[in-house]
Each structure stands twice: as C-alpha cells, then as structure tokens.
A and B are shown apart, each in its own frame.
Chain A
Amino acid sequence: MAMPRLPQTLQTSLGQTTSRCQRLYSSSSSCSFSTTTTTTAAAVRRTPLLINNNLKSNKNTSALGQCRIVTRTKHHLTGTNATETTTTTARKGYSSLATASHSHTPPPSITNANSAANAGRPYQQEQQQLLHRSKNQQSSKPIHIASSTFPSMPNSNLNATPSAAATTTVSPQSSPLFRMNNPASIVKQPQARRRYSPQHFYQNRILDPYVHQAVSPITLRQLVFFGRNMQEDKLLKSANYVRTELPIRLAHRIRDFQNLPFIAFERLVKIPEIKTLEENDAFCEMVKGLLNDHLVVIPQLALGIMECSKHIPAAQIDQFMNKMLRSRISRRVLAEQHITLTANFNSPNHMMTDRGYIGIIYTHIRPKDIVERTAALAADTCRQASGGMNPPKVMLDGNIDAEFTYIPDHIEYILYELLKNSMRFVMQNGKRDPATGDLPPIQVTVCEGTHEIVFRVSDKGGGIHPEMESQLWSYAQSPARFANFEKISKMAATVQEQVTPSSPSSPSTSFRESDDGQDQDDNIVLPPPPAANKNSTYQPSESTLLLDRHAPTRGQSSQKSSFSTTATASSHQQYKNQSLHLGIGLPMSRVYAEYWGGDLKVFTMHGYGTDAYAKFCKFGNIYENFDV
C-alpha cells in the first residue's frame, strides 16, 4: 500500500519495525484474515491521502475498505474533491473485485439461519419467564461491531515502497504466536488457505440473512443464571448462542459500513452447529484467535480518527467511535464469556470452582477490594511515570462492603482510569500540606442506592480548564491527544494491559519509545519513564507463548476473566509504558459504564479539583446498551 506521507514518529521507527513486518508477511499468506483490522483503521487514517494512490487490482479490498469508509463518513461533507475521487475508486474496486473473484460457497438460506439462531439463544430462553420478554425481539437494533474485520489483503501484495509497507503492518500478528492461535487447522476453512479470500460485491447476499435478524441483547443477570452449574449441554448451548449471535452482530455492523470485512464473518458463518465438547474447544480456539486479531482495532481507529478529524465533524466522529467501541464490547463479552465458561468447564475441579465467578462475571464484587486493587495499580503507574514520586493517598469511605454483580474488567478499567487521572492531576497541581508535605488525598466514596452503586472519585488536583472540559468526552476535538497511539499496536482496553506485569522476565515491548513528550495535550508533563523499556523490539517471550488458555492446570486464583487476562498478555507488553497518555481513557470508560446501564459523569471545579461519578447498575438486569 502506498503510504503517501508517514507521520514523523512512524518514519523514524521504521528501522525497528521492519523485521517484525517481514515476519508478518510470511504469516499473512497462511492466515489472511490476520491483518484485517489493521487495514480497517489504516483505511480510515489514510482517507485524505488516498486519492493520489495508484491502486492495483490485487489490493482492491483494501481500497474498497478505504473508499467505503470515506464515502460513509464523509458524505456530509459537500463538494470535497476527496469524496468524489474516492467514490470513483470504490467503484473501480468493486468491479475489479468482481472479476477477480472466483467461487464462493452459496449463502445459507434465510430459514436455515433463522432456525439456527433461534436454536442457539440459550440465555434468553433461560430467562424468558423471569423477564417476561419475548425470545425474538422484534426491535431490530443495528449492531456495529467495532473490531471490524475488513477484507484483509496480504500486505506484501501492495505496491508500496518497503518502508511504507512496513508501516502498514505495525500489526500484532507476529507469526509464532499467531500460528499457535490460528484455528485454521482446527476448523475446516479451505478459504483461509488461499492467499487472500475471494470475495466480491455479490456475495453481499450471504450477509443479508444475518442482517435481517435482530440482535438478541442479554443482561448480566441472564449471563449469571446461565453460567451457574455449568453442564455439558448448557455449555454447548452457550457455544451455539455465541456461534449464531456473533455473525449477526458482525453482520449488522458490516451492513452499517456497507463494506465487508468478510473473513471473520465468513469463518463464523461456516461453523456448523456445535454438538460435542471437542467441537466446542475448537470453536473457542477460533474465537480466541479472532479476538486476539482485533486487539489492533482501537489503536488503529484512534489513529484514523486523528488523521480524519480535519475532514469530519467532531460530533460525527464521536458518535461513530462510541458505536464502534460499544459494539466491540458487546462481542467481546459474548465471546469471552463463552471461552471462559468452556475453560472453567474443562478444568478438572470445575465443580468446586464456583466461588462467585461465572465466566468473566463476578457476583461478589466488593467496592473495597476493587478500589484497593485499582488504586494500587494506578499508584504504581503514576509512580513509575513520574520517576518515583509518591502519588497521593486514596481515602476510601462510604458503603465499602456492599456486594454486587458485575464484570470486574469493566469496573476496573473505569476506576483505574479515574484514579490515574486524579493522581496525575494531584501530582501536578496539588498543593502539598505545608506541615507534612503530603499531597492532598483522593477521596473515593462508595454509595449504594436502591438500584445502583456509585463510586465518587474526588480530587484536589486543580480541576480542568473550561476549554479542556468541553473536549473531555470527545475523540475528535483534540486529535493530537491520540498521537501516542502511534506507539502501540494492540489494545484490549483492559487494566491488565496497562499495568506492568509482575514478573520482570517479560519486558518486551513492541512500540517504539518516543522522547518527544507527547503528553502536552493535557498539560500533564511528567518525567519520562525509566529507560529500561527503551527500544526493545518485540520478542514474544516464553511466558506469552506458553500461556495455555484453557489449561486444566490453571489455578483457581486465575480463573477470573481467564481469557481476557491472557488475551491481553501480549498487548500489555507493548502498552505498559506508563507515560503513554492515550487520551481515550475517559470516553472509553464512559462507554464501558453505560454498557450495562450505568453512567459516568465528571464535574470539575477549575482552580480546585475534579469529581467523577461512576454509576453501575447493581442488579445486572439492564440489557446491553449498544445503540447510541
């Protein structure tokens, strides 16, 4: 792919990425879908530049992705040359695709798909009577799947200068790890063996039956009820629910794009009904692989947003981004829940392991524990980022022993983000106690209402300037805030990936450090991080590679969110530079909070401090919120 102009940071980093990219090339031929989302976001980010490119037919899918994004996101812009030109390119892309394509399996009939879908919605059936809710919801909620799987093309085919191509593939799929997870050997996927997947415009028909089906939203409570007392038939039901639901959600999202990130979708659609545990295991492997592939989505999207922000109204970008992230959560929850259920089921002592964890859900979350955990992580982060300066204390009060049910990953992400922000501001602006020299503490108050649990994080860090405040929730208004995404390639949006792993033996990073102080967007200037992380190239460590995701030997302590922990094992290594301020934390936190019916509000007193209120529905009976 011709990269007309590279961001400065990337260009300087090319030397380090090349070897990684070459490895990627070799792997891309065997697993073409691996680069999917890289291309997506790359498409977004390159839209303005695309016009000048010489597109060749063998990268038409990429072009298609690019063009469709351009036309979709820019159609409100009137009269820009870019729009017209790229639309033309899109047409060209379509036609040449059509000629290039050869064969494809015929689309499943609508009736088949429907019956399969209905057969495979165990959560709803389980809860049907409880919730007086019809199984087949008629409201068709369009689902937009964030980790788009764009038609991926082997990047090596692109007529690019070597350096440009290298940049394109700052991609997570380093081959050894990837091959391990590549389920192509397990699931029969002849298409995946091709150099790239044949696809053309008319195959859209495959999508149609799925788009026509309504998404079946679930509640946390349904997940909990279902996940209790796991048995083989229930596990298979779960597998089939995920099998049928994921393509539907993907399809809605694809339809939203009007472009086909076909391959992940294709892979899911082709899986027959899951009847045995072995098939289930294979299915889990495949889904895991897909999830892992999609870790690049957020960074790439963010970069795309950053580069597009001049051309698209900010409100539109924000809405788009929120939809993407929301639907991304929706699919990850489904997939991770099933994978974790499977893993727990496979572990030999699974009958004894039910201590509140049901898949990735924990039914006895105590505010005290979760605040302590996240505060310690945030304190470590800030201590490292500031070169050893002690962060402010966290004072905890309120109803700290209340218990509720939630997905700990989601709450942890939010609290970590809030605490980290508070600590940074206090360390930067807080007035020290003249007597003790202590920074003003951060006050965390936990309040339990009839329906909700609220965490109030109150700091005296000087507040947020009104100009910044207006951009607090926007992805697009201060595009420079995403500049640090240049330095990471994967992000699962969990806490684990942001925290240095406890064992110092796996300090590998795949992002390139930059010394140019990218933090200025918030006026948060902290000392550069310790030099230990510098310039290490990506070397998948033993610990990463050998993490067996459903190893029966896994201790009970790690069964909580077992999948997500390991899924992010590789991404945290490239992400753990604590000074990396990504600028996505708050909006992402709000998406998480709103997902199960809560919310996140921030009120600031400029000149004094900031209060953040994170509210969570404590019963888990709110349906997934994946529409804006």
Chain B
Amino acid sequence: MVAIVSSVASDYELDIGNLLIFHGRDPSPLSSSMTEDAEYLEEARVLVQVLADVLFNMPSTLDKVGPPVNLPRPRMQPPREKLLTQSKATNKVGNICQNKSIVKRKRRKPEFDEQNDEWWHRHVYKHVNDDNDIPIIEPKASDVVDAKGEEKQLLQDVLQHGYIKEFP
C-alpha cells in the first residue's frame, strides 16, 4: 500500500495494480445541488492527477506507441469464481458403492500369506487362505478315536501301527 501525503495533509490510498485511488475524506458538502456534480468531478480530477503522477513517474521503457509501465500485483484481490480443486462428480455406480461402503481396492497378483509371512499366489493349487489345504497332523498313540464301526477300526489301526492293516 502506498500512502501519499498531499499538501493538504489528507492521505490517499493507492492500489496501482487495479489503478485505484481512494480518498478517505468525505467530500465537502455544498449548498446547492447544481454545482455539486462539478465540485465532485473536480475533486475526482485531483485524485486521478495524483494517480497519474505516480504512474508516469514509474520506471518505463521506451516504446513507439507510448511508455509501457510494469504494474505491481493488485492489492485488492476479488474472490475466485470456481473452486481450486474440483472433485469428480459421483455417478450412479459411485453412489451405490458409497451407500454400500464398497471400497475400491487394487488387488495384487500375489497375496500376502500371513501364516508363512510371504507373498504367494491367490488362485492356483495351495493358494493363500485355501480352505481345502488342511494341515496333516501326525496322530499320537494317546489320541482318542471318536468314530464308529469300520471307520473306528481303520483309525485305530493307523494309530497303533501307522498304516491301515486291512482295507474293508
């Protein structure tokens, strides 16, 4: 902001970027409205003269058409007309997903196997989190066989001897 103190000791506020000059003092009231306009015009003329004084005294280069002058950035910045970042408009599918809390997640080709702490395939035989992949537990002799009939005989054989003695 540049404040110029004129000879009349009233201050002007200048916004050169907007070519604006503001005089914070009220215009002198007049008796008749006929000369009012002329008086205000004269006062405005003085202001514009002050603005011109500043502009023409700014450093300028020589040019055929006229002296070009570099203006500083305007002090008074008006508001923007559009948002700085525009969010993508959600469409029908997007709304459905939002309602169902469906989160878009990028699937990786190998999946992380928590048990073995490694990246392993997701679909093929012996994939990660395979329900069919039951770990083989070696039976102990002290294991109680909870079965009936033939099954019981088979399991008992396995427990005692480690193999099935006789197939049914």
Report whether chain A binds chain B. no
Interface of A toward B, CB cutoff 8 Å:
none
Interface of B toward A, CB cutoff 8 Å:
none
